[in-house]
Amino acid sequence: MFNVKVDLSDLPTPAQLFRSSVIAVGVAVLLGIGVVLPAEYGVDPTGVGRLVGLTEMGEIKVQLAKEAAADRALDREQGRAPTPAGSDKRSGLLGSVLAELLIRPAMAKTAPAARAQEMSVTLKPNEGAEIKLDMKKGAKASYAWSVSGGGNVNYDMHGEPHNAPNSTHSYKKGRFTEADKGVLEAKFDGNHGWFWRNRSGKEVTVTVRAEGDFVAMKRVL
């Protein structure tokens, strides 16, 4: 047998043990109030649970439990075997709810902005107009435009950088054209779109619709 000498000064004092116990109890109470009550019962006395989405989860759990109890009561009244509490049906629904609360907001933060917008301009003979999309480099937008009124237009689809508005990049040109469609992919941050000039000798209306990743559609001329 070995004789082990213990230095009593290394042991915690009763006061230290009491203080540690009080701290542990306090942390447990705070967790219970701030996390467990909102997440399990939808009760949120501090407001923290609502802020982080736990209260909504708890309210859904409570509602699911009530619905399950009502289903079991109805089963007993009709002589059917009651559905067990905590069945896969509840788990599957809860999983869907969690996906809506957690996964969808995360996807929304990372998904590119998508817009759909339409605009029309009426052109007298020899008159021109320009409509542009404000886009970031690499952004894409599908487009389609057409001429009504029995005429046609000459057009130039081009872009102008935000940092060099006097510089242009031409994507596509056409003469005596009644319609066009495709996908516009921005080569740089800037305004990208169409200039039309009516050379048909009659008044025409050009209508363009774009859908995709752009900030705004605007007439610039």
pLDDT digits (tens, 9 = 90+) for 63-108: 777 776 776 776 677 665 555 554 444 445 455 555 555 555 555 4
In sign, the C-alpha dihedral spanning 210, 211, 212, 214 is positive
Q: Which helix (H) or strand (E) holds 176?
A: strand 169-177
Percentage above 90 pLDDT, the chain:
47
- Binning pLDDT at 50, 70 and 90, where does residue 16 land? confident
CA 37/CA 54 separation, integer angstroms: 9
Question: Any bridge partners for residue 142, and if so which?
Answer: 183, 211
Q: Which two tokens stand for residue 153?
A: 């237009």
Higher pLDDT, 41 or 156: 156
Residue with tokens 């990049």: 169
**Residue 49 banded pLDDT, cuts 50, 70, 90:** low
Two tokens, residue 143 = 């487009």
The 10s digit of each residue's pLDDT in 120-155 is 999 999 999 999 999 999 999 999 999 999 999 999
Instruction: Select from 153, 197, 161 the least CA-distant residue to 177.
Output: 153
CB count within 10 Å of CB 183 equals 9
What's the rounded Cα separation, in Å, for the pair 146 and 181? 9
- Among candidate residues 208, 196, 190, the one with its CA nearest the CA of residue 172: 196
Q: What does the pLDDT read at residue 39?
A: 67
Q: Is residue 56 pLDDT above 90, yes or no?
A: no
What does the pLDDT look like over 179-207, one tens digit per residue?
999 999 999 999 999 999 999 999 999 99
When pLDDT is cut at 50, 70 and 90, the band that residue 61 belongs to is low
Q: Which domains does the chain have, with CATH numbers?
A: 15-110 (no CATH), 115-219 (2.60.120.380)
